[in-house]
Amino acid sequence: MEMLPKMNLAELEEKLAQGDYVLFFTADWCPDCRFIKPAMPEIEANFADLTFIQVDRDENIDLCQEMMVMGIPSFIVYRGGKEVSRFVNKDRKTQKEVEDFLTAAK
């Protein structure tokens, strides 16, 4: 999974202008993020039509504020440069919940 370098929302939207993406917002210190991380390779494999990008909340705190991502882990789907769906809250997420969200976002 690609790691997003530090950037602002305008730079991110330019990066995501072409293609279908899932932004995975996380932080090393977050226990709920550590809970879902082992499932991420399988989730990525099950949704191979999407490009997954990991966003470190601490490195991209300004971007998270611009995007109103206040809880982690969180997921946002972009298609053709536009946000189409989000699963953003501070709750622990299971693999099934994430996969159900991604299926609904198609």
- Tens-place pLDDT, residues 43-59: 999 999 999 999 999 99
- Give strand pairing partners of 83: 78
Whole-number percent of the chain with pLDDT over 90: 92
Contact 63, 23 (CB under 8 A): no
Q: Choose the catalytic residue: 12, 16, 22, 30.
A: 30
**Which is it for strands 2-3 and 51-56: parallel, antiparallel or unpaired?**
parallel
Q: Look at residues 41, 36, 26, 25 and name the one whose alpha carbon lies nearest to residue 76.
A: 25
Superfamily of domain 2-104: Glutaredoxin (3.40.30.10)
Q: Choose the catalytic residue: 12, 33, 40, 77.
A: 33
- Tens-place pLDDT, residues 44-97: 999 999 999 999 999 999 999 999 999 999 999 999 999 999 999 888 999 999
What are the residue ranges spanned by the domains of the chain?
Answer: 2-104
Residue 7 predicted with pLDDT over 90: yes
Cα gap 26→58, rounded to integer Å: 8
64 noted as active-site residue: no
Contact 21, 78 (CB under 8 A): yes
